[in-house]
A = this chain, B = another copy of it.
Amino acid sequence: MPLTSITEIRKQEILKAFYQIAMSEGVENSSMAKIAKVLEVQPSLIVHYFKTKEDLVSALIDYCLERYFQIFEEEFSRPGTPSLKIKTLIERLFSKEWNDLFDDGVFYSSYSLVFRDDNIKSKFKILHEGLRKKLSLIIESYLEFNNEDISQADELSNQVFTLVDGSYYYINMLSSKKEQAFHLESAKKLAQTLLKIS
């Protein structure tokens, strides 16, 4: 979807600046004034494109979640046999580089809004359910390929993502890369065991 209109380009610029500020100060401490300053523009111009701050936050989350989903999408749609696909996918899901594609500070800062905003809550829900469904399909074809019971695909997908979510939640508190890597490796192994990946 090309952004032909100037309006859409400007909106994207604003969101990028918002994201940038949110990285260092958090979503809630970001403001229209700060965004305007970064873009060297009047605050009223921000309002011209996003009528309220709520609109701005909502758009940022859309922008974030879409990007998140897109990154996963690319990974999911790689070619190869089901066995190879699932193998590399798990490898990627539990790699720190993967996680670094998106700023965790902004992500959790947005996530914390889930408890006060039903609109945001449903957006997050859609993202996570979407990811689980995608993985489930891949697991399904993997199980089929190996002549195994397909019916457990949903549960396996869910378990894998529970491990992913739980792992990243925890490693953000660990200061050294070594500790983080160790923990990710441990969770990855469990996921591989569950999926019976050799």
Binding site for B on A (CB under 8 A): 24-26, 28-29, 104-105, 108-109, 111-116, 121, 124-125, 128, 155, 158-159, 161-167, 169-170, 172-175, 183, 186-187, 190, 194
Say yes or no: B109 contacts A159, CB within 8 Å. no
CA distance A111 to B190 in the complex (A): 26
Q: How often does this chain occur in the complex, in copies?
A: 2
Say yes or no: A108 contacts B104, CB within 8 Å. no
Say yes or no: B173 contacts A159, CB within 8 Å. no
CA distance A165 to B166 in the complex (A): 5
Say yes or no: B166 contacts A167, CB within 8 Å. yes
Cβ 8 A contact of A26, one of B112, B155, B165: B112
Set of chain B residues within 8 Å of A172, measured between Cβ atoms: 114-115, 121
Say yes or no: A112 contacts B115, CB within 8 Å. no
Set of chain B residues within 8 Å of A114, measured between Cβ atoms: 108, 172-173
Set of chain B residues within 8 Å of A183, measured between Cβ atoms: 158
Set of chain B residues within 8 Å of A29, measured between Cβ atoms: 28
CA distance A107 to B76 in the complex (A): 33
CA distance A12 to B25 in the complex (A): 28
Set of chain B residues within 8 Å of A128, measured between Cβ atoms: 170, 173
A116 and B166 in contact, given A111-B108, A190-B159 (Cβ under 8 angstroms): no
CA distance A140 to B112 in the complex (A): 35
Say yes or no: A26 contacts B166, CB within 8 Å. no
CA distance A169 to B158 in the complex (A): 13
Set of chain B residues within 8 Å of A161, measured between Cβ atoms: 166, 170
Residue of B nearest to A104 (CB): B115
